[in-house]
Amino acid sequence: MSSKKKAAPKKGQNKKIKSLRSTFIRAAIAVLVLSFVAFIIYANYLDKVIRAKFDGKRWSIPAVVYARPLELYPDLAFTPEMLEEELQLGGYRKDQSATDPGGYDRRGNVMHLVTRDFYFNDGLAKSVGVTVEFAGQRVAAVTRTDNGESLSLVRVDPARIGSFHPREHEDRVLLTRKDLPDLLVKSLVAVEDQHFYIHFGVDPFAIARAMFVNLRAGEAVQGGSTLTQQLVKNFFLNNRRTLGRKINEAIMALLLEMHYTKDEILTAYANEIFLGQDGARAVHGFGLASQFYFRRDVKDLSPDQIAMLVGMIKGPSYYDPRRNKERCLQRRQVVLDMMRSENVITEEQYQTAKAAKLESSDTIMSGFNRYPAFLELVRRQLDRDYREEDLTGDGLKIFTTLDPQVQIQVEKHLSSTLATLEKRTGRKELEGAVVVSSRDGGEILALAGGRHPLKPGFNRALDAQRPIGSLVKPAVYLTALANGYTLATPVDDVAITLTSAGTKKWRPANYDKKEHGRVPLYQALAQSYNLATIRVGMDVGVERVIENVKLMGVDRDFSPYPSFLLGAAPMSPLEVSQMFQTLAAGGFYVPQRVIGSVLTADNKEVKRFGLSVEQRFPANIIFLLNNALKRVVSEGTAQSLASYVPDYIKVAGKTGTSDDLRDSWFAGFTGDKLAVVWIGRDDNKPTKLTGSGGAMVVWGKIMQSLPLQPLELTEPEGIEWARVDTADLRSFTDYFGEKAWLPFIAGTTPGHSVTAQQQPARQAPPPQKRRQSGSGLWDKIRSWFH
Nearest to 230 by CA among 191, 198, 178, 186: 191
Task: Give 116-125's long-range contacts (Cβ < 8 A, gap of 24+).
Answer: 116/157, 117/157, 118/157, 118/158, 119/397, 119/599, 119/603, 120/69, 120/155, 120/399, 121/399, 121/596, 121/597, 121/599, 121/605, 125/155, 125/157
Amino acid letter for position 342: E
Q: How far apart are CA 469 and CA 576, in angstroms?
A: 11
- Measured between alpha carbons, how far is residue 668 from residues 450, 629, 632, 692, 698 in Å? 20, 9, 10, 12, 12
Nearest to 307 by CA among 274, 335, 343: 335
Ordered DSSP codes for 276-343 = EEETTEEEESHHHHHHHHHSS-GGG--HHHHHHHHHHTT-TTTT-TTT-HHHHHHHHHHHHHHHHHTT
Which residues make Cβ contacts (< 8 Å) with residue 59, sequence separation at least 6? 172, 174, 271, 272
Q: How far apart are CA 393 and CA 397, in angstroms?
A: 11
Q: For residues 436 and 674, is the Cβ–Cβ distance under 8 A?
A: yes
Q: What backbone torsions phi and psi does residue 673 show, to the nearest 5 degrees?
A: -135, 145
Q: For residues 697 and 421, is the Cβ–Cβ distance under 8 A?
A: yes
Nearest to 394 by CA among 63, 164, 66, 78: 63
- Give, for 431, the enclosing helix (H) or strand (E): strand 430-438
Which residues make Cβ contacts (< 8 Å) with residue 530, sequence separation at least 6? 470, 508, 509, 510, 511, 566
Alpha helix stretches (DSSP H) within 1-10: none
How far is Cα of residue 374 from the mean position of the Cα atoms in its chain?
3
Put residue 471 in one of left, alpha, beta given phi > 0 → left and psi -120 to 50 → alpha.
Answer: alpha
133 tagged catalytic? no
CA atoms within 13 A on the CB side of 375: 25
Put residue 271 in one of left, alpha, beta given phi > 0 → left and psi -120 to 50 → alpha.
Answer: alpha
Residue 543's CB is within 10 A of a number of other CB atoms, namely 12
Which of 437, 438, 470, 692 is flagged as catalytic? 470
Nearest to 651 by CA among 663, 640, 664: 640
How far is Cα of residue 164 from the mean position of the Cα atoms in its chain?
12
Q: What backbone torsions phi and psi does residue 729 show, to the nearest 5 degrees?
A: 60, 30
Tell me 83's DSSP state: H
Which of 86, 170, 192, 575 is flagged as catalytic? 192
Q: For residues 540 and 517, is the Cβ–Cβ distance under 8 A?
A: no
CA atoms within 13 A on the CB side of 712: 14
Q: For residues 680 and 662, is the Cβ–Cβ distance under 8 A?
A: yes
- Measured between alpha carbons, how far is residue 347 from residues 309, 339, 358 in Å? 20, 10, 20
Nearest to 161 by CA among 399, 321, 363, 320: 399
Q: How far apart are CA 17 and CA 726, in angstroms?
A: 124
192 tagged catalytic? yes
| DSSP-derived pairing of the beta strands 103-107 and 93-94 | parallel
Active site residues: 192, 470
